[in-house]
Amino acid sequence: MLKDKNIVLGITGGIAAYKVVDVVSRLKKQGANVEVIMTEHATEFVSPLTFQTLSINSIHVNMFAEPKSYDVEHIALAEGADTFLIAPATANIIGKVANGIADDLLTTTIMATKARVIFAPAMNTNMYSNPIVQQNMAYLTDLGYEFIDPGTGILACQTYGTGRMAEPIDIVNYLNDSFYERDLEGKKIVVTAGPTIEPIDPVRYITNHSSGKMGYSIAAEAHRRGAETILITGPTHLEEPKGIRVIRINSTLDMFNAVQKEFDSCDILIKAAAPSDYRSKTVDSQKIKKDGSPDGPTIELIKNPDIAAHFGNIKEDRIVVGFAAETDNLVEYAKKKLNEKNLDFIVANDISKDGAGFKSDTNIVAIIGQEGVITDYPILKKSQIAGIILDRIRNLLDTRS
Ligand code: PMT
């Protein structure tokens, strides 16, 4: 998404300027053109030469420097920006912009741009919580300026609190996401992901190999495309996607209850999870001991509710999408599930293939719609498959409106 995008990066005078070196490097690796404007104070923290070397562009500092071209510099930068990032953003720059002050190259350029302006604040906790700063940020937010929340931790002033600039990777991800078409804005999407676990006793449980990657990819993509996204996830080792409400559950019954709470108000339910179909009829409160018999204990299993089938059959005008994880007769079994669960379409994956199904970053799927048409896809990243699923949902929404 960042390839060939013009990012104008305003760097102000804070120690977090050193972290922006990494931001520039990451933006360049993704193919963006980066034009850096530094305030005089910023140059005290990191040399312009560092940013010049990394951005492969000359650095803009002085409003009245010998012009490098016949363009009026701040207007050319302002008009050329696809996105304007200010990082680190001090209390001073936020205050100046909020009050319409344009007294140097950076502030005049911000004033002249029509591009999206995104601040990554970095300052001492007391400064950050100061009502003046908070009020300035609230005012700018109302006007459409954006803020990437700072983190909490040990700050340069050796205090602990909120005010540490967001991590470079999160800043770059935020910029990347800002270029997505927000074609699912106004829609509420519930995505289920990962395995469920069904306890047998305090130390043992039944589960499966789902890593959650497929469902998390769908949730992240839905969020980028502007949907209010709720991720209901079984236990995974994945990092929680930012900006998404995450509901953690353990068992299939927990997942059923969590979906039930969200279902009435949702527009779309995507069942990418691998819920356990069965649970142990009894759960021992003590660890089951070896009983000395050669066969060991017998665990009696009972059926869990089928979440996709339950909500598919009461969906009314909501869209419900399911997956089918199969090792044989992929299309035949997937079609059966599509009908039994009353899904709008099903994403079938043959989990016995290399690069498909559980754990991998890729998947190989066939999508089968209500009309019975089967579309086969080659091996793709799970994030790409997430995009294909959401495109298909967008098309369904369009044909219904
Ligand atoms: O998590 P990853 O490691 O990335 O792996 C991805 C995946 C293989 C888990 C995913 O691509 C996938 O196929 N998910 C569905 C797994 C599954 O449970 O398939 P199934 O064929 O048993 O179930 C069919 C559908 O019914 C699925 O949408 C499933 O979520 C749903 N289901 C199943 C059982 C149950 N009790 N309730 C359900 O809602």
Question: How do the domains of the chain map onto residue ranges?
Answer: 6-178, 188-400
Tens of pLDDT, residue by residue over 312-367, are 999 999 999 999 999 999 999 999 999 999 999 999 999 999 999 999 999 999 99
Identity at 208, one-letter amino acid code: N
Task: Give the DSSP letter string of 223-291.
Answer: HHTT-EEEEEE-S-SSPPPTTSEEEE--SHHHHHHHHHHHHTT-SEEEE--B--SEEES---SSPPPP-
Is the pLDDT confidence value at 70 over 60? no
In terms of Cβ atoms closer than 10 Å to its own Cβ (0-12, 13-18, 19+), residue 259 is buried
Where is 346: in which H helix or E strand? strand 345-350
pLDDT of amino acid 193: 98
Residue 125 clears pLDDT 60, i.e. is over it: yes
C-alpha 183 to ligand 1 mean position (Å): 26
Residue 231 CA to ligand 1 centre (angstroms)? 15
How much is the pLDDT for 66?
Answer: 54
Task: Name residues whose C-beta falls within 8 Å of residue 66's C-beta, 6 or more positions apart in sequence.
Answer: none
Contact 41, 62 (CB under 8 A): no
- Measured from the Cα of 273, ligand 1's closest atom is 30
C-alpha atoms less than 13 angstroms from C-alpha of 283 in its C-beta half-sphere:
12
pTM reported for the whole predicted model: 0.85
Which is the closest atom of ligand 1 to the Cα of 277?
Answer: 36
3-class secondary-structure state, position 366: strand
Summarize pLDDT for 181-196 with one digit per residue, the tens: 999 999 999 999 999 9
Instruction: Kindly indicate whether the domain formed by 6-178 is annotated with CATH number 3.40.50.1110.
Output: no
Do the domains spanning 6-178 and 188-400 agree at the CATH topology level?
yes
In this prediction, residues 2-14 reach a mean pLDDT of: 96
Type of residue found at 155: L
What pLDDT is recorded for position 357? 95
* Angstrom distance (rounded) from CA 59 to CA 71: 15
Predicted confidence band at 69 (pLDDT cuts at 50, 70, 90)?
A: low
CB 59 within 8 A of CB 52: yes
Q: Give ligand 1 pocket residues (Cβ under 6 A).
A: 194, 210-214, 252, 271-275, 277, 304, 306-308, 322-325, 337, 349, 351, 357-359
Ligand 1 centroid – CA 357 distance (Å)? 10
**346 touches 332 (CB < 8 A):** no
pLDDT in tens, 240-282: 988 899 999 999 999 999 999 999 999 999 999 999 999 999 9
Query: Given a cut of 90, is residue 296 above it in pLDDT?
Result: no
Measure the CA–CA gap between 243 and 245, rounded to whole angstroms: 7
Res. 294: pLDDT tops 80: no
Task: State pLDDT tens for residues 360-386.
Answer: 999 999 999 999 899 999 999 999 999
Task: Give domain 188-400's CATH architecture.
Answer: 3-Layer(aba) Sandwich (3.40)
pLDDT of 19: 97
Cα angle value 159/93/179 (rounded, 5°): 100
Mean pLDDT of the chain, nearest integer: 94
pLDDT at 293 over 80: no
CA atoms 226, 230, 235, 239: torsion sign: positive
121 near 128, Cβ under 8 Å? yes
Confidence of residue 295 (pLDDT cuts 50, 70, 90): confident
- Half-sphere exposure at residue 119, Cβ-oriented, CA atoms within 13 angstroms: 29
